[in-house]
RNA sequence: GCGCCAUUAACUCAGCUGGAUAGAGUAACUGCCUUCUAAGCAGUAAGCCGCUGGUUCGAAUCCAGCAUGGCGCGCCA
């Protein structure tokens, strides 16, 4: 794995560390008492390619002033044979290092050699991560929040993969419990309405136009009243109608229990299939779809209750079984089994996480959660602790809500009752997939963002994603034009030391930083660092393009710039691949 | 009331986990297409980094308190 910045940083740390030890020894100070120092890339380019605060940080331990220490350090460092060609002391005692020309040239050749592998690191060391995201309820269509969660989760999985982790993308299907009961009840009510003899004429008047009928039923709350505790969406009516088309009214007179079961057995698999299809259109392919029902069927839920009881962290009160989570860092105790004997949702969830970490042995499990579920973190960690699983192996990424606003800045209500809820599907009909995936990863998960839906649709052509794609298309165009004139890449004729224009140096620096950026994005579970990297790189390329010509330059320079362009093209491609965003050759 | 998260340019956001003169993109204004894609580039203007203290060589960054906003605090999921 090639990481030019990391190699240079480590090289520098060794040089500085050795010099410091020498100074400490000479002055009789204790070398082990020296504090840690940092090596970083300064914001201001005039401060060199790398800077260290070693002299400032060690001032106390060495009982000397920083500038003097800095002089000592530089006097004890020989740059010969290193990646650096110049060192200087600046400000209160910073030491600035300047990379040699050959280092920049090597970055370009390294990238061309590494090709599609460039950007990958081995930081994760193959550790197994289970990343669960979206996990929308299969009782209805996905909404805008799922669009963000999907883009975030899928790109995070890619980032972790690039950082050397072994990632499994998983969708947890809540196909059991109260949600499903409510789903059955909703379907049942609609089925009964549609098959009520009193409504026969009305239903018949729509003929085969199911969609019109469903909307008419939806709007006619007088004729088709619905209680509060059921799903009201049109999709429920559509299921009931389609079920009726297949089975007629033969379930009209059977027991409610039998009818509900039949309706759920019919509609739930369809919904699950649709989730898979819709997410697939969004370029999200899961490695595994985990059914909650399996945890009930194979006894896991019951076993978890026994395990928790055995842990000693449970007690009974008012007929219910409680989890003493307060003692494990939660702010209150939680009910595990209700007085009526039915476990709360919490128990299968514990069983699920236990399954991930203790039974399937993932090193780490990551959940992407909506901010409204943040209170769930301490209780799940508490449960893992009680079960003897290291709670640090469970990580939660909190994703703030997406607030849709209209042109006037008024929030668009996502009420299901209004029937105007914006689904993931309709959103993706309006916004190109590339733009949506990129857009939703422009900001950190934990920043809530409002977005103007009208603007997102209207301005899709000025979305940053096009800016990045344009850079790639431009490079492809250059290469095409050169080929058209019979000019081909020939590395043996290139002289990379000619790449000295500020635009070229900046561009190479940005190329070099990709593996570090991947590591940081993985460390912070933050794919937005990658989208911003892509934008930064595109910016630097556009600047380079404006300033530096390729065709028409002397052979050695032309070939060197062509290599640089190819390296940029490679990196843009790798980065957009990571985000699963298209990378067009022409725009 | 308690907890979590936020607060940086007119707007949307970065700021590499404590470093040097706080940065981008939008929007506004001004330039640049007879040579590789103007979906581009260059420039101008715009800041009490929410407020007040503390920690130290050094704070947008760490700590405490306060203010404002969002979200949670069910034998719902």
Supply the ipTM of this predicted assembly: 0.94
Q: What's the pTM value of the predicted model, to 2 decimals?
A: 0.94
Q: How far is the CA of A477 from the C1' of B43 (A)?
A: 28
Q: How far is the CA of A439 from the C1' of B25 (A)?
A: 13
Across all strands, nucleotide nearest A447 (CA–C1'): B6
Question: Residue A41 — very low, low, confident or very high, per pLDDT cuts 50/70/90?
Answer: confident
Residue with tokens 């050959």: A102
Question: Residue A417 — very low, low, confident or very high, per pLDDT cuts 50/70/90?
Answer: very low
Q: How far is the CA of A60 from the C1' of B62 (A)?
A: 20
* Most distant CA pair in chain A, distance: 101
Token duo for residue A349: 């969830």
**Amino acid whose CA is nearest the C1' of B23:** A43
Nucleotides of strand B within 7 Å of the protein's CB atoms: 2-7, 12-17, 19-25, 27, 35-42, 57, 70-77
Residues A392-406 have pLDDT tens digits of: 999 999 998 887 766
Across all strands, nucleotide nearest A479 (CA–C1'): B36
Q: How many helices (H) and strands (E) does chain A have?
A: 22, 14
Closest among A474, A571, A579, A519 to A107, alpha carbons compared: A571
Question: Residue A62 — very low, low, confident or very high, per pLDDT cuts 50/70/90?
Answer: confident
* Count of Cβ atoms closer than 10 Å to residue A126 Cβ: 9
Across all strands, nucleotide nearest A96 (CA–C1'): B20
Tell me the CA distances in angstroms from A343 to A340, A346, A421, A452, one per residue in order. 9, 8, 31, 42
Q: Is A87 helix (H, G, I), strand (E, B) or coil?
A: strand
**Amino acid whose CA is nearest the C1' of B13:** A443
Secondary structure element (H or E) that encloses residue A51, with its range: strand A50-52
What pLDDT was estimated at residue A410?
63
What pLDDT was estimated at residue A408?
60
Beta strands in A342-457 (DSSP E): 364-370, 394-399, 402-405, 449-452
CA dist A317 and A312 (Å) reads 15
Closest among A507, A475, A518, A422 to A148, alpha carbons compared: A422
Token duo for residue A430: 């309006």
Q: How far is the CA of A118 from the C1' of B55 (A)?
A: 43
What pLDDT was estimated at residue A430?
83
Q: How far is the CA of A103 from the C1' of B19 (A)?
A: 26
CA dist A357 and A383 (Å) reads 12
Q: Helix A464-484 crosses helix A555-578 at what angle (to 10 degrees)? A: 140
Q: How far is the CA of A472 from the C1' of B27 (A)?
A: 27
Q: How far is the CA of A72 from the C1' of B58 (A)?
A: 22
Across all strands, nucleotide nearest A517 (CA–C1'): B16
Distance between first and last Cα of chain A: 33
**Taking the CA of residue A538 as centre, how many other CA atoms within 13 Å lie in the half-sphere pointing to its CB?**
22
pLDDT tops 50 at residue A416: no
Closest among A438, A330, A412 to A378, alpha carbons compared: A330
When comparing pLDDT for A282 and A42, which is higher? A282
Residues A426-470 have pLDDT tens digits of: 888 888 899 999 989 999 998 877 777 777 777 777 788 999 999
Residue with tokens 């209004």: A418
Across all strands, nucleotide nearest A177 (CA–C1'): B77
Residues A535-555 have pLDDT tens digits of: 999 999 999 999 999 999 999
CA dist A561 and A32 (Å) reads 47
DSSP character for A358? Answer: I
């Amino acid at each position: 794995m090639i990481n030019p910045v990391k190699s240079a940083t480590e090289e520098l740390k060794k040089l500085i560390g050795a010099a410091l030890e020498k100074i400490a020894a000479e002055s009789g100070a204790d070398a082990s008492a020296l504090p840690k120092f940092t090596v970083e890339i300064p914001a201001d380019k005039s401060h060199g390619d790398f800077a260290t605060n070693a002299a400032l940080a060690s001032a106390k331990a060495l009982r000397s002033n920083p500038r003097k220490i800095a002089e000592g350090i530089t006097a004890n460092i020989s740059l010969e044979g290193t990646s650096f060609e110049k060192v200087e002391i600046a400000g209160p005692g910073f030491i600035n290092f300047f990379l040699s020309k050959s280092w920049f040239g090597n970055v370009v050749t390294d990238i061309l050699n590494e090709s599609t592998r460039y950007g990958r690191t081995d930081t994760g060391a193959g550790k197994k991560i289970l990343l669960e995201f979206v996990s929308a309820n299969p009782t209805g269509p996905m909404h805008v929040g799922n669009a963000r969660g999907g883009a975030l989760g899928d790109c995070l999985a890619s980032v972790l993969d690039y950082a050397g982790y072994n990632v499994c993308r998983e969708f947890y299907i809540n196909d059991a419990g109260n949600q499903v009961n409510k789903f059955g009840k909703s379907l049942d009510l609609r089925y009964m309405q549609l098959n009520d003899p009193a409504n026969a004429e009305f239903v018949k008047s729509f003929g085969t136009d199911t969609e019109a009928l469903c909307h008419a039923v939806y709007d006619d709350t007088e004729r088709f009243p619905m209680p509060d505790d059921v799903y009201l969406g049109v999709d429920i009516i559509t299921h009931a109608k389609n079920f009726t088309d297949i089975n007629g009214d033969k379930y009209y007179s059977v027991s409610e229990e039998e009818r509900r079961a039949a309706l759920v057995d019919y509609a739930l698999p369809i919904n699950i299939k649709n989730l898979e299809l819709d997410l697939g259109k969004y370029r999200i392919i899961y490695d595994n779809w985990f059914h909650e029902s399996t945890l009930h069927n194979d006894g896991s839920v019951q076993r978890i209750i026994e395990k928790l009881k055995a842990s000693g962290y449970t007690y009974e009160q008012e007929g219910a079984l409680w989890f003493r989570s307060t003692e494990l860092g939660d702010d209150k105790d939680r009910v595990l089994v209700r007085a009526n004997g039915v476990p709360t949702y919490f128990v299968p969830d514990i069983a699920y996480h236990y399954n991930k970490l203790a039974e399937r042995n993932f090193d780490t499990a990551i959940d992407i959660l909506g901010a409204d579920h943040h209170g769930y973190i301490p209780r799940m960690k508490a449960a893992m602790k009680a079960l003897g699983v290291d709670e640090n192996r469970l990580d939660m990424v909190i994703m703030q809500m997406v607030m849709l606003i209209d042109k006037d800045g008024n929030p668009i209500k996502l009420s299901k009752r209004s029937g105007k809820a914006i689904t993931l599907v309709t959103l993706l009909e309006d916004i190109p997939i590339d733009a949506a995936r990129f857009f939703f990863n422009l900001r950190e998960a934990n920043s809530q963002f409002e977005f103007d839906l009208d603007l997102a649709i209207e301005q899709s052509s000025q979305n940053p994603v096009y800016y990045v794609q344009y850079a790639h298309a431009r490079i492809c165009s250059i290469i095409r034009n050169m080929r058209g004139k019979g000019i081909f890449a020939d590395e043996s004729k290139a002289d990379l030391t000619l790449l000295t224009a500020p635009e070229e140096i900046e561009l190479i620096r940005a190329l070099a930083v990709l593996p570090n950026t991947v590591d940081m994005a993985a460390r912070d579970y933050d794919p937005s660092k990658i989208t911003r990297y892509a934008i930064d790189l595109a910016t630097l390329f556009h600047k380079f393009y404006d300033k530096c010509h390729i065709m028409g330059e002397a052979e050695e320079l032309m070939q060197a710039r062509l290599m640089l362009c190819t390296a940029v093209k490679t990196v843009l491609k790798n980065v957009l691949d990571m985000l699963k965003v298209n990378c067009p050759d022409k725009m």
